[in-house]
């Protein structure tokens, strides 16, 4: 659980540096971005 919390905290700190328009575009991609990752495919 600690590793997950630290990972989430690190990700959040990275997201604070992303410009708002780019962050909104990233959020709109949603599942599409996860499907780009080898482990993200749900087929």
3-state secondary structure the chain: CHHHHHHHHHHHHHHCCCCHHHHHHHHHHCHHHHHCCHHHCCC
* Centroid of chain to Cα 23: 10
Q: How far apart are CA 28 and CA 25, in angstroms?
A: 5
Q: 10 Å Cβ neighbour count for 26?
A: 12
Where exactly are the structural domains of the chain?
Answer: 2-40
Tens digits of residue pLDDT in 1-43: 999 999 999 999 999 999 999 999 988 998 888 888 887 556 5
CA 30/CA 21 separation, integer angstroms: 15
Q: 0.75 exceeded by the pTM?
A: no
């Amino acid at each position: 659980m600690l590793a997950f919390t630290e990972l989430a905290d690190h990700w959040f700190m990275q997201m604070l540096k992303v410009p708002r328009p780019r962050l909104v575009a990233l959020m709109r991609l949603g599942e599409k971005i996860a499907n780009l990752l080898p482990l993200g495919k749900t087929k």
